[in-house]
Structures are given as structure tokens and as C-alpha cells.
Amino acid sequence: MNKDKNKLLNLTPHEIKIITTGYNVTFAPFVDKKDKQWVARCTQSKQVMNMEESQLWDFPVYSRARYTGVEDIPSISEVDGIIVASLVAKYLISHLDFWECGSKFDASGQLKAEIMENTQESLVNGLDQVAFDRIISGQLKVFSPDTGPESSVRNEQGQIIGVRRLVYWPIENKK
């Protein structure tokens, strides 16, 4: 199992512990050779609610965040998968699914250049070209911790200390 562990990068800000009967593994947050910790995040824009509605409360109220991209996924070719927060995985995969990936590939299986340029800029800004290519082709798998009630492992205070499994986020439309 150690071989598989080395092929997953944890791009969250905290350790991910998978705890099952007979198998426990911890994925530390990924830190590169320059001591940079990589944390994949959704970029977002927020707007203050209109002033009339906002004045009903004694605190600022913003409209729902609009997620605009994903940032900080490194281009590392030696790994098979990345572990990210479920929000990042959902945004990333839903936006890659959005334009029916299967019809966007040429005969050799490569993403058509014009699609790559437009999509990478508008849907996943901040995602490096190598990572984008590997995710869209299925070479780099996207996972998130399953923190649902059936999978989370909690301590006496009710805090999550691990999960029993990861969730795999495949690109559904790739042919």
C-alpha cells in the first residue's frame, strides 16, 4: 500500500487520515522542495448585498460567493491523484465536464488547442497547463475526503480525526 500512498498528493491545509480496519494511512499536506505548501482553493468573488436589505442587520451581509476558478494545483507528473477539498473537486470537475469533453478531443486523444486556450482561461484560471492536461485526460485523478456521517471518524469531542474513504471525482463526459 505504501506505493499507492506516494502517488497521491494532499493539496489541503491539513493531514488527511484514512482509518479502516487493518489499514491506516496519513497524507501530509504537500510541501515542495522550496518549502512552499500547496493548498488547492477555489478563487471567488463576493458582493455586498444591496444597502437597503443589508441595513436590516447590524453586521455585513454578502451575496453567495461566485467561484471563479481553481488555484494552486502543481504540475507534477509523478503522481496519479490529488486530494483536495470537496468544493474544489466539485468546481473543477463540473467545469471540466461542462463542455462535453469527449467531443473536444482530436483523433489522437489530445484536447483541441482552441478549446484548451478558451476553457483554461475562462473556467479554471490559475490551473497550470500540465495539471489541466492530466486531469482532463484522466491521468491525474481528483479525490476528496469523504466527511459524511458514515465515513468520518470522530474523537470524543466530536471533531473529525480521519475518514474511512476518499471520494473519486471522475470526468463523466470524457469518451
Question: What is residue 33's predicted lDDT score, i.e. its pLDDT?
Answer: 85
Question: What is residue 113's predicted lDDT score, i.e. its pLDDT?
Answer: 54
Helix (H, G, I), strand (E, B) or coil at 44: strand
Question: What is residue 82's predicted lDDT score, i.e. its pLDDT?
Answer: 92
Overall pTM > 0.85: no
Beta carbons within 10 angstroms of residue 131's beta carbon:
21
Domain spans in the chain, listed from the N-terminal domain onward: 2-168
Question: What is residue 100's predicted lDDT score, i.e. its pLDDT?
Answer: 43
Helix (H, G, I), strand (E, B) or coil at 89: helix
Question: What is residue 122's predicted lDDT score, i.e. its pLDDT?
Answer: 44
Per-residue pLDDT of the chain (175 residues; tens, 9 = 90+): 444 445 899 999 999 999 988 889 999 999 888 888 889 888 887 766 666 666 677 777 777 778 877 888 877 777 889 999 999 998 888 776 544 444 455 555 555 555 455 444 444 555 666 777 777 777 889 999 999 999 999 999 999 999 999 999 987 654 4
Backbone angles phi, psi at 143, to 5 degrees: -125, 155
Question: What is residue 119's predicted lDDT score, i.e. its pLDDT?
Answer: 47
Among the listed residues 1, 171, 40, the one whose alpha carbon sits nearest the alpha carbon of residue 97: 171
